[in-house]
Amino acid sequence: MSRHRFNDAERAGVYRAIAERRDMRHFLSTPIDSKVLQKLLQAAHQAGSVGLMQPWRFIRITEKQRRTQIYQIVEQERKKTAQALAEREDEFMKLKVEGILECAELIVVALPDKREQHIFGRRTLPEMDLASTACAIQNMWLAARAEGLGMGWVSLFDPIALTELLKMPEGSRPVAILCLGHVEEFYPQPMLEMENWIKAKPLDDFISENEW
Amino acid sequence: MSRHRFNDAERAGVYRAIAERRDMRHFLSTPIDSKVLQKLLQAAHQAGSVGLMQPWRFIRITEKQRRTQIYQIVEQERKKTAQALAEREDEFMKLKVEGILECAELIVVALPDKREQHIFGRRTLPEMDLASTACAIQNMWLAARAEGLGMGWVSLFDPIALTELLKMPEGSRPVAILCLGHVEEFYPQPMLEMENWIKAKPLDDFISENEW
């Protein structure tokens, strides 16, 4: 056993956050304490990043009208996704896929412009910037769960429309609309399973040795 | 304050893992307990994923020769990256960027084939599969830190060469070579900062309100 190992309660906290984190779409309107919000953003910012490029930007949406405009962009994509799903269109339209208008805080996360300057770890895999930013978002998700707050990652949007709405520079790219807030209850299992949309597969199906 | 909030010790564990997680390149050869390894993979597998598509595969490398071949693939890309960095070539070549031959466990993480079937949350942002897999890797990173184990994410490789070596199907794509193992010490700050390669910027530089 490693001498760097956390004590039992600390380890339990880490595993509990991992197990009980959910992609939330149902929120209460109770505001989030500003110090807690700052801690969550700091948790995101502590993620590692490829070549330490820190390829993230957080745009906090505080204007009501802008929130409504973001909601409309998502609603348009929700309908287009439903159509693309063909025979599951009606079923999809019944799912609750976001909580943009209800959540206490709305944060758009984006990859910055001028990313092509960063070669370290990205010469053959330029998409590692997104990977780093996703790690930052996962940090935030887990910290939010530890604080008793829910978070949802919405990716149903036209990135160009969102780029224009938020006056983002050329070369930048929004990758997440994060809904954050207090919740009545956390889903006991992923909501898409509870709604019988899809069934998750067990870990063993995803592991192999030495070759695919 | 939320009634879903973790207790002090559990919360401390989550924030400690986030703060003390490092991208490690120095390892001891001590083996990892197989039950702990299983817990880390389970932590990864508990990540959320876009449309619950679970877009990850874990290939555990146990053959010594295959590990050497992976090392060679990385070594080739390390030299190409150094050349691409031009005036920083020599400086880059002095950095330790991986611990592939020393670490106790080597795991390649890949996106699977047939991802185009998954439309939910990916119609306009197909790269959300990578984002989900990065969240899984971040879970593993944090759980490893809680267990006192170090992990490094190596992205210096030619994905086609690695795909061929591991006999991966067309349409799949390796995104990480994970080095995992016991460590003498965790770096007190990111190694690239300690080596004066780059200086991290503070959170305030990355936040704005309503617009970029």
Give yes or no for a contact between A50 and A147, defined as CB atoms under 8 angstroms apart.
no
In a 13 Å sphere around the CA of B141, the CA atoms on its Cβ side amount to 32
User: Quick check: is A17 in a domain?
Assistant: no
Distance CA(A111)–CA(B135), nearest Å, equals 16
User: Quick check: is A3 in a domain?
Assistant: no
Task: For residue B75, give the CATH number of its domain.
Answer: 3.40.109.10
Interface test with B, best of A5, A10, A70, A111 (most B CBs within 10 A): A10
Distance CA(A50)–CA(A53), nearest Å, equals 6
- Pick from B52, B201, B210: which is nearest to A62 by CB? B210
- Residues of the domain holding A114: 22-195
Which amino acid belongs to residue A176?
A: A
Distance CA(B173)–CA(A205), nearest Å, equals 17
If you measure CA to CA, which chain A residue comes closest to B176? A128
DSSP class of residue B30 equals P
* Chain B contact set for A172 (CB, 8 A): 212
Per the structure, the count of domains in chain A is 1
- Pick from B57, B157, B176: which is nearest to A206 by CB? B57
Phi, psi (degrees; rounded to nearest 5) at A176: -155, 140
Residue-wise pLDDT tens for chain B (212 aa)? 899 999 999 999 999 999 999 999 999 999 999 999 999 999 999 999 999 999 999 999 999 999 999 999 999 999 999 999 999 999 999 999 999 999 999 999 999 999 999 999 999 999 999 999 999 999 999 999 999 999 999 999 999 999 999 999 999 999 999 999 999 999 999 999 999 999 999 999 999 999 99
| Partner-chain contact A148 B9, CB within 8 Å | no
The pair of structure tokens assigned to A14 is 């880490």
* Chain B contact set for A131 (CB, 8 A): 130-131, 133-134, 137, 155, 175-176
ipTM reported for the complex, 2 dp: 0.98
pLDDT < 50 stretches in chain A:
none
pLDDT at B1: 82
Distance CA(B97)–CA(B23), nearest Å, equals 10
pLDDT at A61: 98
User: Quick check: is B201 in a domain?
Assistant: no
CA dihedral B131, B137, B142, B143 (to 10 degrees): 140
If you measure CA to CA, which chain B residue comes closest to A5? B148
